[in-house]
Amino acid sequence: MNETPANIAKETLLNEAEALRDAALRIGSSVEKAARIIIASEGKIVITGLGKSGIVAEKIVSTLRSFGFPAVFIHATEAFHGDMGVYGSGDVTIMLSKSGTTPELFSLIPMLRRLDSPVIGILGNTTTGLAKEVDCVIDASVKREADMLNIAPTSSSTLAMAMGDALAVTLVRISGLTREDFAACHPGGQLGKNLERTVENVMHRDVPALTAEKTLKDAVVALSYRPLGAVCIVENDRLCGIITDGDVRRAIQKNIDINTAKVADIMNIGPVSVSADAPLNTALELMENRPSQISVLPVVSEKQKLLGLIRLHDIYQVGD
């Protein structure tokens, strides 16, 4: 590969992607076993590691907390100087180690056994002594790191973090976590508000609406009177199309006569819409997770009756 900065970056990402793919192909029952151990425990999840593994451990802690699982991080060295006080009997321990030979983690094992703590290892080497000491081994080994010297934790740290995600998502599926549970863990954030509130809570009910035989000039007037970014086109109160500000601008640029052109000539037929009882997060996905983003959504009933309009701005304003 030509050694340009762009190609070096591309090769790095491809190397890390290969490590993730290889791990996905070889994964067995270990993640499920780890999840069952955690669910069977009534205590906390204590995650530990050193160096880059410690940083990855902190991220996994944060992810688990987001899903409502009580998780804490302890530094493997500080554990010997008072931090073991965080433990309660039966708390689960997750150890992260690229080498699988971290001395500090080995030294923790006897103390964890006295605390009846089941130990899960996310290890980059599954043939070492540490792999034999833990109750469950999740294989996080890689063929090589992504850097050209095969030294820096790159592919290995990415994979360890991804394994943490895999474990967290498995826990969510097995435990039956709901959107409401997730929202309860994010009461002050955009994520939680998007899940707790529905489209009906923030939609505009007084929206500009026209029939298809009206002129483009009528649409311009309606957009000016109620500047919400779009005019909904209805037939017997049922949504059949939409015209956005952008549609009007493009029509004018093409020298279309707004006095004679009909709404039907430029409207978008069968537009994407959302129900009033949908979570805000659903509306956000409909607007953003598409090849070309849209900034407004008509709100309709089951029978396509127009109920209102919601804008991308309205959703993000909820988090302010």
Residues 154-169 have pLDDT tens digits of 999 999 999 999 999 9
Q: Could you give all domains of the chain from N- to C-terminal order, each with its CATH number?
A: 5-177 (3.40.50.10490), 199-318 (3.10.580.10)
User: Once rounded to an integer, what is the mean pLDDT over residues 12-38?
Assistant: 94
Q: Which residue has the higher pLDDT, 261 or 181?
A: 261
The rounded distance, in Å, linking the Cα atoms of 15 and 4 is 16
66-89, pLDDT tens digit by residue? 888 899 999 988 888 888 999 998
Q: Over 60: is that where the pLDDT of 195 sits?
A: no
Helices (H), the chain: 5-26, 30-40, 51-66, 103-114, 129-133, 155-175, 179-184, 190-196, 199-202, 216-225, 245-253, 263-266, 280-288, 312-318
Q: Which two tokens stand for residue 126?
A: 């599954």
- Rounded to whole angstroms, the Cα distance separating 301 from 277 reads 9
pLDDT for 226-237, tens place per residue? 889 999 999 998
Quickly count: other Cβ atoms within 10 Å of residue 229's Cβ. Answer: 17
Average pLDDT, the chain: 89
Residue 4 CB coordination number (10 Å): 9
Average pLDDT over residues 245-272: 90
Contact of 90 with 117, CB cutoff 8 Å: yes
Express each pLDDT in 107-150 by its tens digit: 999 999 999 999 999 999 999 989 999 999 999 999 999 988 88
Q: Give residue 225's pLDDT.
A: 87
191-202 average pLDDT score: 71
Say what percent of the chain tops pLDDT 90. Answer: 64
Model confidence at 313, pLDDT cuts 50, 70, 90, reads confident
Q: Is the pLDDT of residue 188 over 80?
A: no
- In this predicted structure, what is the pLDDT of residue 190? 47
**Residue-level pLDDT at 186:** 46
Residue 183 pLDDT exceeds 60: no
- Cα separation of 174 and 222, whole Å? 51
Q: What is the distance between the alpha carbons of residues 272 and 283, in angstroms, rounded to a whole number?
A: 10
End-to-end CA distance of the chain: 46
* The residue to which tokens 């952008």 are assigned: 246
Contact call for residues 314 and 202 (beta carbons, < 8 A) = yes
Give the pLDDT confidence score for residue 135 in this predicted structure: 96
Give the residue-averaged pLDDT of 22-48.
93
**What is the pLDDT averaged over residues 236-256?**
91
pLDDT at 318 over 70: no
Q: Given this model, what pLDDT does residue 42 score?
A: 85
- Report, as an integer, the average pLDDT of 194-217: 87
Q: Are 284 and 200 in contact (CB under 8 A)?
A: no
Residue 224 has pLDDT above 60, yes or no: yes
State pLDDT tens for residues 48-69. Answer: 999 999 999 999 999 998 888 8
Query: Is the per-residue pLDDT at 287 higher than 70?
Result: yes
- Angle CA(140)–CA(142)–CA(143) in degrees, nearest 5? 160
Going by pLDDT thresholds of 50, 70 and 90, the confidence category of residue 173 is confident
Q: Report the C-alpha gap between 253 and 251 in whole angstroms.
A: 5
**In Å, what is the CA distance from 173 to each residue of 21, 92, 103, 176?**
21, 19, 34, 5
**pLDDT greater than 90 at residue 33:** yes
- Cβ neighbors of 305 (< 8 A, separation 6 or more) are 237, 238, 239
Please check the confidence at residue 31 and state whether its pLDDT lies above 90. yes
Comparing 8 with 175, which gets the higher pLDDT? 8
How many angstroms separate the CA atoms of 169 and 182, rounded?
12
Give the pLDDT band of residue 176 (cuts 50, 70, 90).
confident
d(CA 58, CA 69): 14
Q: What is the pLDDT of residue 114?
A: 92
Q: Is the distance from CB of 144 to CB of 155 less than 8 angstroms?
A: yes
Residue 252 has pLDDT above 50, yes or no: yes
**Of 76, 223, 209, 94, which Cα lies nearest the Cα of 161?**
94
Q: Half-sphere exposure of 21 toward its Cβ, with a 13 Å CA cutoff?
A: 6
d(CA 259, CA 243): 16
